[in-house]
Amino acid sequence: MARLLSFICLLCLVGAALGQDMPYEELMAQIQACPRECHCPPNFPRAVYCDNKGLKSIPNIPPYTWYLYLQNNLIEALSKDALRNATQLRWLNLNRNKITSEGVEEGVLSGMSHLAHLYMDDNLLSSVPSPLPASLEHLRLSRNRISKIPAGVFSGLDKLNLLDLQGNKLMDDAVTEVSLKGLNTLVQINLAKNQLTSMPLGLPPTTTQLFLDGNNIEKIPAGYFKGLPKVAFVRLNHNKLGSSGVPKNVFNVSSILDLQLSHNQLTEVPVIPSGLEHLHLDHNNIKNVTGSSVCPVSLDTLDDTVNDSAPRLRYLRLDGNDIKPPIPRDIILCFRLLSSIVI
Ligand SMILES: *[C@@H]1O[C@H](CO)[C@@H](O)[C@H](O)[C@H]1NC(C)=O
Ligand SMILES: *[C@@H]1O[C@H](CO)[C@@H](O)[C@H](O)[C@H]1NC(C)=O
Ligand SMILES: *[C@@H]1O[C@H](CO)[C@@H](O)[C@H](O)[C@H]1NC(C)=O
Ligand SMILES: *[C@@H]1O[C@H](CO)[C@@H](O)[C@H](O)[C@H]1NC(C)=O
Mean pLDDT of the chain: 91
Q: How far is the CA of 251 from the centre of ligand 2 (A)?
A: 10
Residue 53 lies in a domain: yes
- Dihedral over Cα of 112, 117, 122, 125: its sign: positive
pTM (2 decimals)?
0.89
Alpha carbon distance 74, 168 (integer Å): 20
Distance CA 283, CA 223 (A): 25
- pLDDT confidence bin for 8, thresholds 50/70/90: very low
Number of domains in the chain: 1
Q: How confident is the model at residue 307 (pLDDT cuts 50, 70, 90)?
A: confident
Q: What confidence tens digit (pLDDT) does each residue in 72-103 have?
A: 999 999 999 889 899 999 999 999 999 999 99
Q: How many CA atoms lie within 13 A of 107 on its CB side?
A: 3
Is the Cβ atom of 334 under 6 angstroms away from ligand 4? no
Ligand nearest to the CA of 336: 4
Looking at all shown ligands, the one closest to residue 25's CA atom is 1
CA distances from residue 194 to 127, 241, 254, 279, 314 in whole angstroms, order as listed: 14, 16, 28, 23, 30
Q: Which domain does 100 fall in, by range?
A: 19-124
- For residues 230, 235, 236 and 237, what is the CA-based torsion angle, rounded to 10 degrees? 170
Other C-beta atoms lying within 10 Å of the C-beta of residue 284: 24
Q: Is residue 72 part of a domain?
A: yes
Average pLDDT over residues 137-160: 96
Substitution candidate for ligand 3 out of 290, 322, 331 with most atoms within 8 A of CB: 290
Residue 17 has pLDDT above 80, yes or no: no
Indicate which CATH number applies to the domain containing 97: 3.80.10.10
Evaluate if residue 324 carries a pLDDT over 90.
no
What was the pLDDT predicted at 109? 95
Q: For residue 276, is pLDDT > 50?
A: yes
End-to-end CA distance of the chain: 64
CA distances from 222 to 50, 153, 214, 239 (A): 50, 29, 21, 18
* pLDDT over 90 percentage in the chain: 76
Residue 71 counted as domain residue: yes
Note whether residue 330 is domain-resident: no
Res 279 pLDDT > 80: yes
60 lines ligand 1 (CB under 6 A): yes
Contacting residues for 236 by C-beta, under 8 A, at least 6 apart = 212, 213, 217, 260, 261, 264
Instruction: Report whether residue 301 contacts ligand 4, using a CB cutoff of 6 Å.
Output: yes
Residue 319 predicted with pLDDT over 90: yes
Q: Model confidence over 106-118: pLDDT tens digits?
A: 999 999 999 999 9
Nearest ligand 1 atom to alpha carbon 82: 13
Coil, strand or helix: which one is 164?
Answer: strand
- The single-letter code of the amino acid at 327 is I
Q: What is the pLDDT of residue 290?
A: 83
The reply to whether 119 falls in a domain is: yes
* Residue 297 Cα: closest atom of ligand 4: 4
Q: Is 282 part of a structural domain of the chain?
A: no
Q: In this predicted structure, what is the pLDDT of residue 326?
A: 85
For residue 59, which of 41, 33, 20 has the smallest C-alpha distance? 33
Please indicate, yes or no, if residue 109 is contained in any of the structural domains: yes
Residue 97: inside a domain: yes
From ligand 2's centre to the CA of 132, what distance in Å? 42
Q: Lowest mean pLDDT: which of 67-71, 197-201, 339-343? A: 339-343
pLDDT tier for residue 20 given thresholds of 50, 70 and 90: low
In angstroms, rounded to a whole number, what is the distance separating the alpha carbons of residues 218 and 178? 23
Closest ligand 3 atom number to CA of residue 324 = 13
